[in-house]
Chain A
Amino acid sequence: MASTTGGKKMEKLSYRSIAAFLNPVQNKTSRILSYTGLGIGVLLLLCSVQMYININQLLKEKSPRRNGFDFISVTKTITNENMGKDNRFSIQDIRELQEQPFIKDAAPLLSNQFRAKASAGNIIPFSTDLFLESVKNEFIDTVPASFTWQPGQADVPIIFSADFLEMYNIFAPAQGLPQLSESSIGVVNIILECYGPGGIQQYRGHIVALSDRINSVLVPENFLSWANQAYGNSVNAPAARVYIKTTDANDPQLLDYLEKKGYHVNKDKTKFGRVKQVLQAVVTGLGGFAVLVILLAMMLFSFYLQLMIARSRDNLQLLITLGYSPGWLSKTVSGRWIPVYAVIIFIALLLTALLQFAFRNIVLSGRDELQPYLHTGIYILAAALLLLCVTVNYRLIRKLLYRL
């Protein structure tokens, strides 16, 4: 079956070859409206996705993270109703927390069941009653190798809250005490006096690290357990504070759960969560609206196509009778609109890029957290939209032509 047995030259078949046989639809308005609608819809969608990414970039890293996890401290909310009751976490409470899918782990903060007093000797004439706490090491952001204790050891390592140090440095001058830097605090010898029904003993405490995360005076867990028995004559009591390890402290599910349980969260760590939640909801709504606009524009265009095919029905049928395959016709007729779609989506992409550039450099005065350029995902989304438009178009035409 030679295709060009006596052929002089091969002319390539294209849309141009069959254009004269398709009756154009005279009404340009619906076509232009659908192009405009598509452009606006794509622009809205690209912008809202980019804004969603912006919000995530601007409102993250607000709580100290470790290995990609957030750690937040939770207490039971004290209200007038429950004021007199025991508001500590039972073992059940903690187990329930651990079972939640959005909570990776939960650990109680054990506290001292005896009295502890700290003084700094003669160099810093300062003495105070103290509370000691301990928590699993993996919940602490800074754990040096020296943060261990063996029974009988007179040295007790302490991890001190960086906030407490800051507080101390504020009131120290007024009290005639020396201010301390983060690096010098390690050399201060603290005399730690533990006493209770079980006796009294002095230990040498030194601060081995500062913690940004945990507002407490932390000692090794086995020291506190041992001391609670030795001086307080009691086993570890239920904890008033629980630390939660989660992938996202701003996870709305987590926040809703904690609120429902009446647990109180350190607001600093999660306040962005609510802002983020609201902003994300707004942007998601906008994105949904954009999808709707795109769908409507595509529907309008599909009506235009159906009208065009209906008007050219006899001619298309005859082309098929002559030997033009419906497959080739669908590809060729729908291919005619690829450049149109490409231009529309490219313009929308360009406008999104301009808006992002303007948003970052004018609205945010060039903040570093934000890229002035579009996220790679936006380009992928634009390409996907182009592919979607072309495919939907092609399938529609194909369906109509095979039905002829």
Chain B
Amino acid sequence: MTITLENIIPTFLENEKIDSSGIWNNRLVINKGEQIHIVASSGRGKTSFMHFMYGLRNEYTGHIMLDGKKIQTMNAAELAETRRSVHSIIFQDLRLFTANTVFENINIKRLLNPFHGAERIREMASRLGIENKLHKPVSTCSYGEQQRVAIIRALQQPFHFLLMDEPFSNLDEANRKIAMELITEEVIKRKAGIILADLKKLDFFEASRIIYL
């Protein structure tokens, strides 16, 4: 599985940000198994890029292709299929069902296309230190806890690429490392690739390529 980026330019971004970018208006090929670290300061379109990759938004020119198929032209069913088996994502804004419990939030993703049994949710939660929150509503969790819920949720399905948008922004150094370890283990199990975007370079992430947006 290969992602090909061909001269994508967000329609809303200023020209000077495009000219100096390693992604915008470039041709880029990302293969399964690669560990890509995208480093970008605020306002350079990092979150937009993640949304473009995931097929959430289309405000760009150029093409993003999954094994030659353009994401822009995918219909609702094809996008759903991509999201249940090709891309898994950790959003910067987390996007959790706040009224539902932590377990429900994680399990709803697992049920869609289970990679693990339900018992693995408890193991992961206990590893990231939120086991006691499993049956509490997300709205009662701190932002750091919610971030760990989003991380665990993203690891419930099979995927070729794990897209992460500032996944550790609310975690302390110790928790970042624990989370990164868990993520790396799961990615290895799937022989998948990582595309991790953050404001600055994360030293505990061993990237195969660093791209400055």
Q: Is the CB of B117 within 8 A of A8?
A: yes
Say if the beta carbon of A151 comes within 8 Å of chain B. Answer: no
Residues on the B chain within 8 Å of A324, using CB: 80, 112
- Which stretch in A17-25, A116-124, A198-206, A350-358 binds the other chain? A17-25
Q: Is the CB of B108 within 8 A of A18?
A: yes
Interface residues in chain A, defined as those with a beta carbon under 8 Å from any beta carbon in chain B: 1-11, 13, 17-18, 20-21, 315, 318-328, 402
Residues on the B chain within 8 Å of A7, using CB: 114-117
Q: Closest chain B residue to A4 by CB distance? A: B114
Shortest A70–chain B CB gap in Å is: 58
Q: Closest chain A residue to B157 by CB distance? A: A323
Known contacts A4-B114, A325-B77, A327-B77, A315 near B158 by CB under 8 Å: no
Q: Closest chain B residue to A325 by CB distance? A: B80
Q: Is the CB of B190 within 8 A of A326?
A: no
Inter-chain CA distance A325–B85, complex, in Å, is 13
Shortest B88–chain A CB gap in Å is: 9
Q: Is the CB of A11 within 8 A of B114?
A: yes
Chain A to chain B contacts (Cβ below 8 Å), 12 pairs = A4-B114, A5-B158, A8-B114, A8-B117, A8-B119, A11-B114, A17-B111, A21-B97, A315-B97, A318-B95, A319-B108, A323-B82
Inter-chain CA distance A318–B119, complex, in Å, is 24
Say if the beta carbon of B76 comes within 8 Å of chain A. Answer: yes
Residues on the A chain within 8 Å of B158, using CB: 1-6
Say if the beta carbon of B202 comes within 8 Å of chain A. Answer: no
Known contacts A11-B111, A21-B108, A324-B80, A5 near B100 by CB under 8 Å: no
Shortest B135–chain A CB gap in Å is: 12
Inter-chain CA distance A318–B76, complex, in Å, is 14
Residues on the B chain within 8 Å of A328, using CB: 80
Known contacts A5-B190, A17-B108, A323 near B76 by CB under 8 Å: no
Q: Is the CB of A1 within 8 A of B83?
A: no
Say if the beta carbon of B131 comes within 8 Å of chain A. Answer: no
Inter-chain CA distance A162–B80, complex, in Å, is 80
Q: Closest chain B residue to A328 by CB distance? A: B80
